[in-house]
């Protein structure tokens, strides 16, 4: 599993700043504010992402993608529980896989492996099979909200 303790924190910071997200680096062994699953999982409060060096990158991107995929009204009151419906959760998982390619430490393949190792569950048994064989509806959902382009690239826009 890959963690937020990589040497160059600027890549994650730069990526998420494109979505107006600010990363707050929490001291090791300190509680992570806004963490739904508890330490060491990432926390989110409004546009503030909280991570420690032992926070998995998949967790940091997952919480960030909730922020990206929810509507503006929910973003304003976001505190710990991203909630969201089935379609949004799938959009979050899909987008976090796409965004993994924008981190030198990661890739889509590594992200999908980490998701499986952590315990994400998909109908076809793995993140890779879901992404490649069963996510057409999620692709369309992300297109509808202009979160990805037709060539399956992030638009770096927030859902409106």
d(CA 134, CA 117): 20
Assign 9 a pLDDT band (cuts: 50, 70, 90): confident
With both helix axes pointing from N to C terminus, report the angle between 108-118 and 86-100 in degrees, rounded to the nearest 10. Answer: 130
d(CA 79, CA 47): 10
- Pick the closest to residue 63 from 86, 87, 37, 98 (CA basis): 37
pLDDT tens for each residue of 31-52 = 999 999 999 999 999 999 999 9
Contacts of 65 (CB under 8 A, 6+ apart): 91, 92, 93, 95, 96, 99
* Predicted TM-score (pTM) of this structure: 0.94
pLDDT at 127 over 80: yes
């Amino acid at each position: 599993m890959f963690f937020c303790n990589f040497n160059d924190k600027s890549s994650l910071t730069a990526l998420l700043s494109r979505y107006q997200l600010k990363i707050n680096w929490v001291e090791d062994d300190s509680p992570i504010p806004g963490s739904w699953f508890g330490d060491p999982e990432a926390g989110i409060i409004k546009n503030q992402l909280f991570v420690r060096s032992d926070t998995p990158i998949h967790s940091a991107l997952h919480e960030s993608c909730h922020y990206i995929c929810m509507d503006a009204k929910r973003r304003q009151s976001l505190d710990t529980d991203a909630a969201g419906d089935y379609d949004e959760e799938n959009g979050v998982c899909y987008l976090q896989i796409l965004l993994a390619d924008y981190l030198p430490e990661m890739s889509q393949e590594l992200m999908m492996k980490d998701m499986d190792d952590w315990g994400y569950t998909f109908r076809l048994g793995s993140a890779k099979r879901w992404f490649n064989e069963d996510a057409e509806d999620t692709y369309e959902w992300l297109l509808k909200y202009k979160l990805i382009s037709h060539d399956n690239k992030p638009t770096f826009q927030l859902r409106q």
